[in-house]
Structure 1
Amino acid sequence: MTTGMMGVDPRDLDDEDLFREMRHLHETRTDALLHGSDDALERHTSRTRELEGEYLKRYPERDVDPGRLRSGARER
């Protein structure tokens, strides 16, 4: 696995670790936004992009909830 200041390369994470890392970032987002330095917030944002990008590469045909589409929102 590749490691360093930026964390483990998302390509090196198995699915379980990728999901865990994404969950953790989503859990800590508000704290980073409200209380983190500009550098910490930028790193949080870029790491989120890296991990979510890897998820989308692995699951391009992910299960999309029709209620989350514009047409679904209009029906509500």
Structure 2
Amino acid sequence: MTEGVDPRELSDEDLFRELQHLHETRTDTLLHGSDDALERHTSRTQELEEEYLRRYPERDVDPDRLRSGARRRG
């Protein structure tokens, strides 16, 4: 089984595309994939998300997605 390109070698555009694809296919993999497929999907998602966070440690966090934002809505 191929392990995929090292996330550190991906361009930003490729990293975003890979992340988007993994998030689009998550439910199908969870519901219908083999145990090995689900395990690999999970580990690849983690690899790519960790690389994203390494590149963008100061990412734009939506205040409404914080606990205090939820309290304001409630």
Does TM-score exceed 0.5, indicating one fold? yes
Q: Secondary structure at the match of 1:5?
A: coil
Gaps of 5+ in 2: none
What is the rounded CA distance, in whole Å, between the counterparts of 1:60 and 1:69 in structure 2? 17
Structure 1 unaligned segments of length 5 or more: list them.
none
- Residues 41-56 of structure 1: pairs in structure 2 closer than 5 A: 41-56=38-53
Residue in structure 2 matching 1:39, options 36, 39, 48: 36
Q: Kindly provide the amino acid, as one letter, of the partner of residue 12 in structure 2.
A: D
Aligned residues, how many? 73
- Across the aligned residues of Structure 1 and Structure 2, the Cα RMSD in angstroms comes to 0.9
Larger relative contact order (CA 8 Å, sep ≥ 6) = 2
Moved beyond 3 Å, runs of 4+:
none
TM-score norm. by structure 2 comes to: 0.96
Residue 60 of structure 1 and its aligned partner are, at CA, apart by 0.1
Identity of aligned residues (%): 82
